[in-house]
Amino acid sequence: ALFMDWRGYVAEATGANIFFVKDGEVHTPKADCFLNGITRQTVIGMLKDKGITVHERRIKPEEMEEFEQCWLTGTAAEVTPVGEIGPYKFEVGALTREIAEDYEKLVRA
């Protein structure tokens, strides 16, 4: 399930934070009314270390149509690709695979 915040913006999934990719840049909801998870913070740091732009901002639900990739982060989810949310479809693209592999290496080192 995908939760919206009290203003109607994309917030998080059940027990996991959400990330989207568009044009090689990452977009994730601003953690102003949900848990700013440690896995989320770690992944944001990893992305920034790679020189990838991360936008922490309010995301309208209809913007999901424009995003190319999507993944969830969390203690249980680690980095889990998402292929579909309702009518919106996402590819498991190179960035999603790369960050999932890098996170796996970090926590299994």
pLDDT in tens, 1-45: 999 999 999 999 998 999 999 999 999 999 999 999 999 999 999
- Note down the domain range covering 70: 2-108
> Which CATH number is 37's domain given?
3.20.10.10
Let me know the angle formed at the C-alpha of 73 by 69 and 78, rounded to the nearest 5 degrees.
115
pLDDT in tens, 50-66: 999 999 999 999 999 99
- Contact, 15 vs 39, CB < 8 A? no
Average pLDDT of the residues in 81-103:
97
Please state the domain count of the chain.
1
